[in-house]
Every structure is written in structure tokens, then in C-alpha cells.
Chains A and B, each alone.
Chain A
Amino acid sequence: GQNIDQPTEMTATEGAIVQINCTYQTSGFNGLFWYQQHAGEAPTFLSYNVLDGLEEKGRFSSFLSRSKGYSYLLLKELQMKDSASYLCAVQTGANNLFFGTGTRLTVIP
């Protein structure tokens, strides 16, 4: 079977750094995606990793270890608007995305 594990909820303080972990076991792997989803809105693309290592994009970075089936999303200089759900998704061999249930991040002042 296929499985993606993420923490259900996290809380962090404005201006801080937070790391959201994701572990996966899937039947195929063509890359790992992170999406941000505000309540009632569509997921928006944040980052993509297909090779091991760190990808940095502004305040957001994503890391991948294929041998460990592990990724994390790092958010720096947290802002109140970063309060949202963060979805980890694996593009399987069939090219569709298999999503985790998401991590709901709450940023507090």
C-alpha cells in the first residue's frame, strides 16, 4: 500500500523557524511536492524535489532523502499569513499525486 505521514498540527511563533516533516512509502516515485492550502482555498505549489538535497526558495526550503523516504519543509521568518495547511505529495509512477493528510500550522504572535 501507499502511505504518507505528516504531523497533524503544529504551532509556531511569528518570526521563528518551523520544520514540517513528511515520511512516505509509495509504489513509485517521480518527485515530491509541497503545497500550501489556506482554509477553503485550493492548494498552491510551494516546492518540488526529485533529487536528494535541499531546494531553497526565499523563506521556504525543502529537503529530500529518497533512501530514507523522508522530506521536510522549512519555513523561516514566519508570518501570520503562513498559517495554513501544508500538504506533502508524491508523484507516483502513474504521474498523479498521492497526498498526505496535511499539517495544519498555526502561527501565533
Chain B
Amino acid sequence: DTGVSQNPRHKITKRGQNVTFRCDPISEHNRLYWYRQTLGQGPEFLTYFQNEAQLEKSRLLSDRFSAERPKGSFSTLEIQRTEQGDSAMYLCASSFRGGNTDTQYFGPGTRLTVL
């Protein structure tokens, strides 16, 4: 079991550029979540997928953000026309929906810095 992986680990970009992050969940996990975390705060929910279906999106997810999970395995999060306020750690988590618990396991995150 290799755990959740995310790439890249760090991304520095200029305001106005587009960025894309990738998340590979734990194999056999059917749920995948994206969160954003800024310094001194807890993670904030952005969106989640069950298999390939995007079932919920937070109001934090503006129209500049889009997420996909085309084959129900890995997921990508794209931010278009980045702004300095997008600077944060983007965390991916996965879980297996079954039984009584739905524990989410987090990846190492992608730290985005927008200059």
C-alpha cells in the first residue's frame, strides 16, 4: 500500500498563469477529496469524487478551479488565471466508502506560491 501521492510537491507561478496538480489515491479507494490549507488554518474542503463522479463542490471553488477524475483513479485540479490569494497547500485525500467508517488518508500536498 503506497499511500496517496501528489505531484508536484511545490509549484511557483506568476499571477495569471494556469497550474495543474495531480493526485494518485490509494488503490481501491473509491472516494477522492481536495482540500486547501493556508498557514495556521485547518484544511478547507474544496470538492470530492466518488469514482469518476464529482458529487460535491464547495462555494470556495470558484469558476477558475476545475477538478477531474476521468477514470475513477487519479485526479487533477486545475487553477486558471492564478491570483496571489490562491497561494496555499493543496491537499488530496482518499477513502474507501464501505462499512461504518470513511477515514480519509491524506497525501503530502502541493504547495503553491503565486508571485
Contact = CB atoms under 8 A, between A and B. Distances in A.
Interface of A: 4, 30-31, 33, 35, 41-45, 48, 50, 87, 89, 91, 94-102
B51 to A, nearest CB: 14
Contacts of A30: 102
Interface residues of B, number: 24
Contacts of A87: 42-43
Interface of B: 4, 31, 33, 35, 40-45, 48, 56, 58, 91, 100-109
Q: Can you list the 6 inter-chain pairs with the closest CB atoms, starting with the nearest? A: A99-B42, A42-B106, A96-B45, A43-B106, A42-B108, A99-B43
A101 B45 contact: no
A81 B109 CA distance: 21
A91 B105 CA distance: 14
**B interface SS class:** loop
A101 B104 contact: no
A104 B48 CA distance: 28
Given A42-B91, A96-B33, A101 B105 contact: no
Contacts of B109: 41-42
Nearest to B4: A42
Contact of A100 (B35, B42, B48, B108): B42
A35 B41 CA distance: 13
Contacts of A91: 102
B25 to A, nearest CB: 13
B42 A42 contact: no
A50 B101 CA distance: 9
B101 A48 contact: yes
Given A30-B102, A42-B91, A96 B107 contact: no
A96 B42 contact: no
Contacts of A33: 103-104
Contacts of A41: 108-109
- Most chain A beta-carbon neighbours within 10 Å: one of B41, B45, B100: B45
Nearest to A96: B45
